[in-house]
Amino acid sequence: MTENDYLLAWAAYGVAALGCLLVWFRLTGWMWRWLREPLRVLVAVLLLTPTIVDPAKDQFAPAIAITALDLMFKVGNNAWKAALDLTMYTIIAFGLYLAFAGIRWPIERRIKARRAADEDARQADGEPTLREVIQGRADEADSRYDANGDRRLRIEPRL
């Protein structure tokens, strides 16, 4: 296999792996977030982990393919190296994911609390929102006049 064929094979595998990853993202889109994200990380690691095949030539191959082919045809001893590479990259990926989720979790809780406080303030204000006026749920509130008794020409949306 020439260098050009090697690079062409990796390019074809990369495109196919990204296609499979996109399909997996679509298949897991309906799941609960804290289950969906680790499954996506696991499949990304399985598809994108390389392992060395020939140390003399510095040639790599997908670890999942090497493991499957070595176990299926019972040839070579690269299955153990590929399985170790998969395990190592999985531990690293899940460690990074846990760090990311640990940083993201308190930030999202703070944002959710701020939104709830804004919603409570909006409800306490008594003035209907534009959505309520359009849907007809603000019949009791006359929003055509402001606090000074002046006529308003439009209702300002709240952000």
pLDDT digits over 58-83, tens only?
Answer: 889 999 999 999 999 988 788 889 99
For 74-80, the CB contacts below 8 A with 24+ separation are: 78/51, 78/53
Residues 6-49: pLDDT tens digits?
Answer: 999 999 999 999 999 999 999 999 999 999 999 999 999 999 99
> Is 0.85 surpassed by the pTM of this model?
no
In the chain, the N- to C-terminal Cα span, in Å, equals 61
How far is the CA of 139 from the CAs of 87, 110, 128, 136, in angstroms?
A: 63, 34, 9, 6
Torsional sign, CA 117, 123, 126, 130: positive
Rounded CA gap, 55 and 57, in Å? 6
